[in-house]
Amino acid sequence: MSTPRRSGPFVEGDWVRLTDPKGRRHNIALVPGKEFSTKKGQIRHDDIIGHPEGIVVETSLGHPYQVFRPLLFEYVVSMPRGAAIIYPKDAAQILAMADIFPGARVVEAGAGSGSLTTYLLRAVGPDGHVGSYELREDFAETARRNVEQVMGEDPAGWTLTVGDVRVAMTESEIDRLILDMVDPWTCVPLAAERLVPGGIVCAYVATTTQLSRFVETLRADGGFTEPHAWETLVRDWHLEGLAVRPDHKMNGHTAFLVTARRMAPGHRSLGKSRRPAPGAYGPDYLGPRPIDLDD
């Protein structure tokens, strides 16, 4: 098994990230004798190989580029993709709020293009395991190539299965279940069966209707703590002399995240004591109702 280098001088096969003074970026794999063409001239790969990160190289027309190995968040946003990726801001929230720890046994339903998978593999470490399930074979193959680009060939602690997690899952006990799928509520029985007590289920959903249905299915099951839902917005800042202000563009809504913890067998969630909002539990609502503070 080969593992991509993350330090030391650049060698043949390394991926590097070229950035010009205007912030334009290019990712290339180093090949001796090859040249990379830009609008500002050619960059010789041989001018990079053997040198450390952080150098500045010039094109054949004298234009400078700084050279580093791409960080994981830089790689995943530019990786080849079939399915949409989970962006770094959401991957970071999943790692933190779903408490992905070294040695954890994690299953993700919906490998997509493999962006979250690489974060999960790094987090669980050599003693953990990530089982990825993907319905489409072409998406699974894209995910495999992307993950191996970051983690090396045949990463330890990773299995990738083409199939429906609801019928193909082989793991009997898991610590975390990550659901990146259109109908995550259909996996609540699976979460109830396979998560260890205290384990966490986390869903990544794009719409409010998906969010509501998943949350109410968890509540109806009764074997999970009160779900917690949120989204993360990221806004960069413009920094130039005294012109320090929020950037005009921002990374807004990508998806909602929902987490809940598995109760011990035979114990039901206490739910939430709250005064229901007017109309929240009308005649069309079929799920469990909250405890009324006046009861």
Q: State the binding site for S-adenosyl-L-methionine.
A: 113-116, 134, 164, 180
Extract the annotated binding site: 113-116, 134, 164, 180
Phi, psi of 75 (to 5 degrees): -70, -45
Measured distance CA(285)–CA(295) in Å, rounded:
20
Reading the block at residue 212, the tokens are: 């509501």
Task: Report the run of H or E that residue 72 belongs to, with start and end.
Answer: helix 72-76
Instruction: Please choose, from the candidates 52, 29, 165, the residue with its C-alpha nearest in 3D space to the C-alpha of residue 110.
Output: 165
Instruction: Please choose, from the candidates 251, 142, 259, 258, the residue with its C-alpha nearest in 3D space to the C-alpha of residue 206.
Output: 258
Measured distance CA(111)–CA(140) in Å, rounded:
7
Reading the block at residue 193, the tokens are: 């069966």
Maximum separation of any 2 CA atoms in the chain, in Å: 79
Instruction: Please choose, from the candidates 125, 38, 118, the residue with its C-alpha nearest in 3D space to the C-alpha of residue 86.
Output: 118
Which DSSP category does 193 fall into? H
